[in-house]
Amino acid sequence: MKKRNIVFEIAYEGTRYSGWQRQGNTDKTVSGRIEEALRQLYGDESQEEIELAGAGRTDAGVHAMCQVANVRLHCEDAPERIREKLNAILPTDIRILRCYEADDRFHARLKATGKVYEYVIVTGPVEDLWLRNRAWQMKDEPDVAAMRAAAELLIGEHDYLGFSSLKASKKSTVRRVDSIEIRKQERPEGGSILRLTFTGTGFLYHMVRILVGTLLEVARHERSVEDAARALETLDRADAGPAAPAMGLYLVKVIY
């Protein structure tokens, strides 16, 4: 039986996991849990190692509304049945949203042309109980107008090395950020929920979190609007803000 190229769209809450990518020193990764479930269902002596190819790696504590991954399987089940079986044995903080078969050429990472990330910030005198592991919570209200003005300077095609945790890279660190949208929703108990949505061709290691940290420095008047983009010129990590906590970040969509 020929191997089939099976594609999954996956949602997960990353709180309990050491990121997406399987690691040798821990079994607490999202891809590791899914691969183990696939081995339980479809593994046999004749089948090679089952390994998911994800569209991108999310860090420890980061969530996904729709991660995409593909795997090659010897399997006769219909995609809907594969999804049903997986969701029956996976932890409840990992869900297979959709499952379908693709042609042999499809690769979740190599075929991706862009990604959408969202970062959630909660402000106000009372923390949001339901978002305690899924948002950056703070008491003070940031200057959203200043944040939006600074975000405009960070959009475009640039070398974002200074906005990443990479020490150096043999590969290009040029990326295109198409938009940074900042939406504000008032909370009945005071304060607000801010959602920062980043759309681009791709993002470097910790890049979105560092962009958020830089924008928050501007919003707190710890950095000028004009200074927000200094790291684009110097490529120096020291010229950007701190990385925002992982718990507020979501992979929303992979673009093909």
Under a CB-based contact definition with an 8 Å cutoff, are residues 216 and 232 in contact?
Answer: no
pTM: 0.94
Contact present, 117 and 208 (Cβ < 8 Å): yes
Q: With CA atoms as reference, report the closest residue to 192 among 99, 121, 98.
A: 121
Helix locations, the chain, DSSP H? 30-42, 79-89, 144-154, 207-219, 230-234
* Whole-number average pLDDT of the chain: 95
Q: Count the alpha carbons within 13 Å of 124 in the hemisphere toward its beta carbon.
A: 18
Give the model's pLDDT for residue 23.
Answer: 77
Angle, helices 30-42/79-89, rounded to nearest 10 degrees: 110
Residues of the chain under the 70 pLDDT cut: 1, 25, 45-48
Beta partners for 177? 156, 200
| Segment 48-86, tens digit of pLDDT | 688 999 999 999 999 999 999 999 998 999 999 999 999
Residues 166 and 83: their CA atoms lie apart, in Å, by: 36
Question: Looking at the annotation, which residues are catalytic?
Answer: 59
**CA–CA gap between residue 160 and residue 30 (Å, rounded):** 27
Q: Which domains does the chain have, with CATH numbers?
A: 4-102 (3.30.70.580), 114-255 (3.30.70.660)
Report the alpha-carbon distance of residue 228 to residue 216 in Å, rounded. 10
pLDDT at 168: 77
